[in-house]
Amino acid sequence: MKFVRNVFSQLHTFVLWALFSALFWSWIFTMTTDVPAAEKVTLYCYVPEISDTELAVRLEETKPDGIKKIKVHSFEYVMFDVEFIESGDLFIIPESMIEEYRELLLDPDSGVKIYDAASGSGSACGYIGYGGEDCYLFLGAHSVHIEDGCAKAVADALLSLG
């Protein structure tokens, strides 16, 4: 009883500590797991389901020279910070959304079909749940890995996944 009374008398301190702890370590982990744009290839996927960690680990197995990390995010990851997504190197976008995100894509008219809804076949189906629409893979318009070929190399690796 005394323990419960004591805890409630300092509840604000315990809540503040939990918040501080979560924010501080999230920041530390972001700092330790992130690298500059020149050393990573980032893939954004506009899909209903994605095993982002597993896909990133799989793609890192064949990462090009000079690349330290492969980042995979769903569009929801950046829904409140659109500027973030503009630096994406690769995009997987369903056919109906291509017009909306046209500005992000290097060549919006020549995406590679990564998923065919009619046959239900595509690449990386073990990691990505595409939904009921054809999806296309694009290079990012603002990618820093077009000239060095790293974005293309990761795209090829992605397309080769079963």
| Contacts to other proteins by CB under 8 A | 6-7, 10, 13-14, 17-18, 21-22, 24-26, 28-29, 32-33, 53, 56-57, 60, 69-70
Largest CA distance in the chain: 69
Burial-class residue 135 by CB neighbours within 10 Å (0-12, 13-18, 19+): buried
Looking at the Cβ atoms of 70 and 98, the one nearer to other proteins is 70
Taking the complex as a whole, the smallest distance from the CB of residue 10 to other proteins amounts, in Å, to 6
Tokens representing 103 are: 């500005």
Distance CA 10, CA 121 (A): 57
Note whether 85 and 36 are within 8 A (CB): no
Taking the complex as a whole, the smallest distance from the CB of residue 106 to other proteins amounts, in Å, to 25
Taking the complex as a whole, the smallest distance from the CB of residue 147 to other proteins amounts, in Å, to 25
